[in-house]
Amino acid sequence: MNLLKASQHLNLIVEMASKLFLPFSCILFLASLLRANSLSGNGGSLKAMQGCRKGDTVNGIGDLKLYLAHFGYLNYKKNPNASDLEENHFDEELEVAVKSYQVYYHLNATGILDEPTVSQIAMPRCGCRDKVIHMHTHNSIHTVSRYSFFPGSPKWSRGQLTYGFGPTFPTRFIAPVDQAFGKWAAVSGYFTFSKAASYQGADLKISFERVDHGDGGAFNGSGGVLAHAFSPQDGRLHFDADENWSIGAMPGFFDMESVAIHEIGHLLGLGHSQDRSAIMFSSISSGVTKGLAADDIQGLRALYGR
């Protein structure tokens, strides 16, 4: 997929969501938008850009600018002096954006597209902007907390929540989602989750959806968006039915429980964490399982109280 077209499509989704007054959502999607073999329609590639720095002109740089702008690192719309995003020139604004990206992901802030930076960009990740949500850093002798919340820190006013599954949700994936809710309940000291008598009556509505499903966050088939969940107190969580899902770690498949834990975190009000071990870290890979980490637990307790 051409990243320029993909980014334009994402911008359209954001515009639609704002018009509908939709709450903030988290959209997990694969790095196929930035595949090294097909970064742009004119033959550029992420791999070919490795080693690029300020002053270089290389195919695909324009797409990289769009990528960094989408995730909050390049505020080109607010800067009248910024270069045209479609230009393939590595300008000063892009160097600043790359450094900002490297700092966020704890990489060496050189402003150069070195191998660690290219590898991070290529990872599957969440579609929410990294730099919109407020970051909390708590320094102590033992811990550094890197959790975050949605703007305004929305949260639920009660701890007893119900959840239900849509009519097309595969029954074999219900158990892993049940387990994901159990993981959050066990550590929260606040939440209890139970199945609702009906899907429509549930506080949290979980379903499998395909392509444009009416919420302003259209899926794009296999290899694109994985899932998305809305912040409190919307309660919707959608998995892309066209993706490869598994129970447990399987090469080329995404573990349902791991993705569900991440998405439930967003349902409860957590944003992304800069802690790579946290389930709320923005990237998630296929063929792996992942669970709650200390940073996730600290974030939830900071939002709701111990």
Residues 6+ apart with CB under 8 A from 217: 13, 17, 25, 27, 225, 228, 238
HSE (CB half, 13 Å, CA atoms) of 26?
Answer: 31
Contact (Cβ atoms closer than 8 angstroms) between residue 26 and residue 14? no
Contact (Cβ atoms closer than 8 angstroms) between residue 60 and residue 45? yes
CA distance 21 to 254: 31
Cα angle 247, 118, 5; round to 5: 80
- Exactly one of 93, 209, 243, 263 is catalytic; name it: 263
Catalytic, 92? Answer no
**Would you state the structure tokens that stand for residue 66, as one six-digit string?**
């769009």
Residues 6+ apart with CB under 8 A from 169: 206, 207, 208, 239
Catalytic site positions: 263
